[in-house]
């Protein structure tokens, strides 16, 4: 098994990408065969998440999926999750919450930590919970696409994840924004309505604004700050 401990970049599997899904179904089939229950999908329920859930359900209809529930998401995001649960009743979707409630965080670290120290806020509300959700897992799936931002241009299908001492599987690296939407509309999938209101990338409500720059679809995340990633995808 390819694990963090046995990682050898020369032995990574390769996958054909000249098909409709640009390799995504091959990667997912390999990943679930290879890791079984030791594989977790950390889903943000953005538009790439909607695609991945549909693809995953074709490979493993009772797959385990975790959503990092920071308690700060838009109501539209929570409603989207409920619709997905109804559409894919066999998937095991778990909302992982931080140890600190928002009230406790405010008491210990002050109000609106995301404005003063977003890295600390993401550490408490996303990174630690993901670490907890991944306890005992060998690999996790992420919906990163190379086109999404300059920081994601070199992501591979199978990656060594130094941050979480794990393997990160990214089936959608070759998908374009148009591919994603073609799939969603072609399969009549329900998605977060905020996408239709100018939010290409959707995270916590306090840190997400509309973005209209096609060259960087994540420019609405932490707009005005130098921060571009929540820390889940930095090694
Ligand atoms: S995205 Fe913003 S609100 Fe959400 S955990 Fe990070 S800093 Fe906090």
pLDDT in tens, 167-191: 999 999 999 999 999 999 999 999 9
Q: Measured in angstroms, how far is the CA atom of residue 69 from the centroid of ligand 1? A: 11
207 is in an annotated binding site: yes
Q: Measured in angstroms, how far is the CA atom of residue 120 from the centroid of ligand 1? A: 9
Ligand 1 atom index nearest CA of 121: 8
Residues 6+ apart with CB under 8 A from 229: 151
Candidates 67, 124, 230, 231: which one to mutate for ligand 1, based on the most atoms within 8 Å of Cβ? Answer: 230
Ligand 1 atom index nearest CA of 124: 5
Query: What is the phi/psi pair of residue 67, to 5°?
Result: -115, 125
43 is in an annotated binding site: no
CB 67 within 8 A of CB 96: yes
Q: Does the annotation count 230 as an active-site position?
A: yes
Q: 214: which 2 tokens?
A: 């096609």
- Using CB distances shorter than 6 Å, the residues near ligand 1 are 70, 72, 114, 118, 121-122, 125-126, 203-204, 206-207, 230
Q: 182: which 2 tokens?
A: 């073609």
Which residue in the list 230, 232, 233, 234 is annotated as catalytic? 230
Averaged pLDDT, 81-103 = 97
Candidates 68, 74, 125: which one to mutate for ligand 1, based on the most atoms within 8 Å of Cβ? Answer: 125
Dist. CA 219–CA 18, nearest whole Å: 30
Outline where DSSP puts E strands in 48-90: 64-68
Region for residue 157 given its phi and psi (left: phi exceeds 0; alpha: psi -120 to 50; beta: otherwise): alpha
Q: Measured in angstroms, how far is the CA atom of residue 14 from the centroid of ligand 1? A: 35
- The b-or-e profile of 9-45 (16+ CB within 10 A means b, else e) is eeeeeebeeeeebbbbbbbbbbbbebbeebbbbbbbb
pLDDT > 60? residue 235: no
Domains in the chain, please, with CATH? 20-199 (3.40.50.620)
pLDDT > 70? residue 97: yes
CB 119 within 8 A of CB 231: yes
Residue with tokens 């993401």: 122
pLDDT of 77 reads: 98
Using N-to-C axis directions, what is the helix angle for 24-35 and 47-59, rounded to 10°? 60
170 is in an annotated binding site: no
Claim: this prediction has a pTM higher than 0.85: yes
- pLDDT single digits (tens) 22-63: 999 999 999 999 999 999 999 999 999 999 999 999 999 999
């Amino acid at each position: 098994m390819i694990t963090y401990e046995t990682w050898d970049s020369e032995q990574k599997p390769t996958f054909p990408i000249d098909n409709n899904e640009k390799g995504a179904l091959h990667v997912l089939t390999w990943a679930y065969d290879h890791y079984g229950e030791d594989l977790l999908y950390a889903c943000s329920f953005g538009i790439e998440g909607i695609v991945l859930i549909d693809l995953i359900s074709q490979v493993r209809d009772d797959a385990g999926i975790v959503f990092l529930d920071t308690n700060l998401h838009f109501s539209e995001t929570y409603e989207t999750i409920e619709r997905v649960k109804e559409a894919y009743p066999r998937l095991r979707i778990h909302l992982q919450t931080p140890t600190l409630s928002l009230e406790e965080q405010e008491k210990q670290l002050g109000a609106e930590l995301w404005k003063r120290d977003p890295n600390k806020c993401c550490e408490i509300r996303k990174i630690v919970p993901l670490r907890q959700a991944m306890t005992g897992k060998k690999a996790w799936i992420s919906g990163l696409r190379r086109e999404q931002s300059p920081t994601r241009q070199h992501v591979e299908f199978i990656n060594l994840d130094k941050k979480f001492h794990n393997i990160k599987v990214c089936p959608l690296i070759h998908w374009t924004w148009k591919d994603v939407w073609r799939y969603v509309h072609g399969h009549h999938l329900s998605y977060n309505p905020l996408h239709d209101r100018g939010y290409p990338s959707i995270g916590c409500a306090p840190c997400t604004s509309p973005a209209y720059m096609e060259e960087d679809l994540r420019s609405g995340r932490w707009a005005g700050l130098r921060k571009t990633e929540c820390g889940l995808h930095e090694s």
